[in-house]
Chains A and B, each alone.
Chain A
Amino acid sequence: MTDASVALGELTEISSQVEAAVLFDDKGTVAAATVPDERAARVAASAKALLEQAAQIVGGELTQLEAATGDGSLFVVKDGPRLIAASTSAGPTAGLVFYDLKKCLQASAEPAPKPKPQAAAKPKAAAKPKPKPKPRTTKSKSDGPS
């Protein structure tokens, strides 16, 4: 499982509003998606075209957008060369969705935590040498009272 897949898995787990999501790069190459490959490629291509055209129309550096339609909303967030597009039902809480998508993008950039190597069995500490029993000294009974 790639880092991107892990990040998307966490996103769909924590966000109840996100219905589908696709992680891709600025060339449109899909890194991970919650939908089949062919559909993911179409989502990535449309989202990339949307972001580029919007930047051309209004000018300036866009970092994120929300397109609200009657059928639902499309969110696109950009962080350097990485992008994420996600669909939600109509009337989502935009702030929460953006927050979750940004977290997912950051998580996809970080290397997945490596499983800890099993600790090598520690050699058993050398058993402490038992203290040698002291030789009992037998007290010679002195002449006690009879």
Chain B
Amino acid sequence: MGRRKLLAIGFAVGSLLGIGLYARRGQEGADERIDLYFADGSLVSLHSDSPEAAPLLVHARDALRAAAS
């Protein structure tokens, strides 16, 4: 009986940790974006889930890696 209880608690704790990590990872991805400012003062924001942002984020990561390494 005690062993089952321990297993159940372990399973619950593991599930909670997994959910937390997944949510955090999703949040980090959601923070990725590119804000483009135009000469006329307008702004376009491309989020990481948009197809246009993906190739631009590759260049941005390259530049950040070069600046940091």
Contact = CB atoms under 8 A, between A and B. Distances in A.
Q: Is the interface of A mostly helix, strand, loop or mixed?
A: mixed
Interface residues of B, number: 28
A45 to B, nearest CB: 8
B39 A50 contact: no
A69 B39 CA distance: 24
Given A39-B69, A87-B63, 4 more contacts: A39-B66, A50-B63, A60-B40, A69-B57
Number of chain A interface residues as a range? 20 to 34
Contacts, number: 97
Interface string B33-62: 111111110001010000010011101111
Contacts of A94: 35
Contacts of A46: 59-60, 62-63, 66
Contact of A69 (B35, B46, B61, B66): B61
Contacts of B40: 60-61
B37 A53 contact: no
Interface of B: 28-29, 31-40, 44, 46, 52, 55-57, 59-64, 66-69
A19 B67 contact: yes
